[in-house]
Amino acid sequence: MKTDLFVPQAPTCVPVDGRGGCPRFPADRRGRCPRLLGLLLLVCGSFAMTTRPALSQYGEVEPPPAELAVGFETITAQQAEAWLGLLAGPQFEGRGTGQVGYMKAAHWVAGKLAEFGLEPAGDGDTYFQMMPITIRLPEIDACRILGPEDLVIEGPGVLGFERYTDQGEIRGKAAFLSFIGPEPKLPEDLDLREAIVFYAADAAAAPSVPRLLARLRPAATMRLIDSPPISSPQTLFPGRRSRSTSASGTILRTEGQRLATALGAPEGWDQETKVFTTDAEVTLRLQLREQPAGTPNVLGWLEGSDPELKHEYIVIGAHLDHLGVSGDQLFPGADDNGSGSVAVLSIARAMAANPIKPKRSVLFMWFTAEEVGLLGSRYYTDNPLKPLENMTCMFNIDMVGRNEDQGPGDADADNEGHIHLVGSQRGETALHGLILEANKHIGFEFELDMESVWNRSDQVNFYNKGVPVAFMFGGFHPDYHQPSDKPEKINYLKIQSGALLYYLAVHAAAQHGRFPMKQEE
Ligand SMILES: [Zn+2]
């Protein structure tokens, strides 16, 4: 992360897939007139569709309704793979909220919506609804470590920080630790509470040291590194202060050794497994600057075809953000939630391409800041850009790119063709029934046993505003929230099937009308 902050203005045109021109005037890969092509497909497809039972990847199913065939045909596993390769690729850096990677991904999605011909539904005449955030970074020139006898460690290229507390100054007893090899350990009786820990760790030990140290609640931890340290921005969200109880960062090895020597640490302590504690106090002085910024929800609108009913609308959404870059770790978030973001994009394109439009309108949404507390969807439902009372229901997709894998008895291979529906029977049932109906064309086996994740994705903010919801979820697996959640592990047929199911269900919901809510027992 570069130290100069990326403060997003009103969205500028930054197409990231290398094609020029503003997202508002797209140059389509397949040439200028998707609709003509669509019409052609309609004639041929409907003839083919009505004559033979369709075969989905999960067995024999009914062919899709002829009037929806054109859009249906555009939803493919190949397309999902191409888009997910980008979204969960290095270019978007794990799409962390408040990080450049998320902004690039949001611009990319906006570019796609313009390409499909969907209307901007964000602030002003844009695809973005900006949620205000604050970015916090250290004034590195003013940060220093004060040691004994006026020893001062300071300056760019010497100190770097990635986690901050609200305190500007942290005092504590200095401790020097060194970890070699995988599975690093610490003496049972070691007390590091309120200490300022300077540690060295080789590549094998490094990934697990932060968690090991955190258990001992030091006031701050500084890792010795050989390259010049850099700082990572911290993002603060509306109404929230930092939740960090301890600071962490990096220090140039030579300066860390200088401090250790001044406090009596043995020569070469950082080259072997070592614990050296002192009673000497050091002070970590952190000066921070805060900068207002914004992170966007991305919104596209497909106007309904019925003049009487088009003021009512269905929402279909997925969170676009993931964990981004943290220290030297990148979290690609292919399944969480690259898969859902791609599925909603596939549905957006399909509905835009299909000649027959739904009677009611459809609002497509990609949420920011889900991983940090469902904040993007909360911000939208607290600051809706379309009247909430006209929203008839909300479809959410999160993690539909993998088979659930919870170990023996519920392993990956047992869950091919399985998908969870969460919340679709809360408050009312017609929406649930409508999805079961649409599934006659897809062939999923539904699992309805995960209400435990009910409030762990964006649909809950809509439900809390009285909107019926249906959450499609693939299930947990060992790569959940790990750097290993990569595109090469994705089941693209499942993303395609999930998108096909919700394409049909959203169309049906747009014809169905309102879903009266009954009071929960
Ligand atoms: Zn997620």
Instruction: Give the Cα separation of 516 and 466 in Å (integer).
Output: 10
Q: Are 235 and 375 in contact (CB under 8 A)?
A: no
Angle between helices 77-87 and 100-116 (to 10 degrees): 150
HSE of 290, CA atoms in CB hemisphere, 13 A:
12
Give the per-residue pLDDT at 293.
Answer: 94
Alpha carbon of 337 to ligand 1 centroid (Å): 5
Phi, psi values for residue 400, rounded to 5° = -120, 25
Alpha carbon of 73 to ligand 1 centroid (Å): 27
Task: Determine the average pLDDT of the residues in 405-424.
Answer: 91
Question: Hey, CA dihedral for 202, 207, 208, 211, is it positive or negative?
Answer: positive
Alpha carbon of 230 to ligand 1 centroid (Å): 29
Q: Between 50 and 484, whose confidence is greater?
A: 484
Which tens digits make up the pLDDT trace of 322-368?
A: 999 987 789 999 999 999 999 999 999 999 999 999 999 999 999 99
Q: Are 320 and 366 in contact (CB under 8 A)?
A: yes
Instruction: Give the Cα separation of 289 and 148 in Å (integer).
Output: 28
Alpha carbon of 398 to ligand 1 centroid (Å): 5
Residue 36: pLDDT band (50, 70, 90) is: low
% pLDDT > 70, the chain = 87
Alpha carbon of 119 to ligand 1 centroid (Å): 26
Give the per-residue pLDDT at 156.
Answer: 81
Q: Strands 288-302 and 119-120: what pairing?
A: antiparallel
Instruction: Give the Cα separation of 86 and 91 in Å (integer).
Output: 7
Instruction: Give the Cα separation of 208 and 202 in Å (integer).
Output: 11
Alpha carbon of 371 to ligand 1 centroid (Å): 7
Alpha carbon of 306 to ligand 1 centroid (Å): 34
Q: Burial-class residue 463 by CB neighbours within 10 Å (0-12, 13-18, 19+).
A: buried
DSSP 107-163: HHHHHHHHHHTPEE-SSTTSSEEEEEEEEEEE-GGG-EEE-STT-EEESTTTEEEEE
Q: Which residue has the tokens 């070691």?
A: 190
Instruction: Give the Cα separation of 164 and 233 in Å (integer).
Output: 9
Task: Go through the domains of the chain in sequence order and give each one's CATH number.
Answer: 49-133+292-512 (3.40.630.10), 140-286 (3.50.30.30)
Instruction: Give the Cα separation of 109 and 111 in Å (integer).
Output: 5
Residue 207: pLDDT band (50, 70, 90) is: confident
Instruction: Give the Cα separation of 154 and 158 in Å (integer).
Output: 6
Q: Strands 361-367 and 313-319: what pairing?
A: parallel
Q: Is the confidence at residue 45, as pLDDT, over 80?
A: no
DSSP 11: P
Alpha carbon of 456 to ligand 1 centroid (Å): 8
Give the per-residue pLDDT at 520.
Answer: 54
The radius of gyration of the chain from alpha carbons, rounded to an integer in Å, stands at: 26
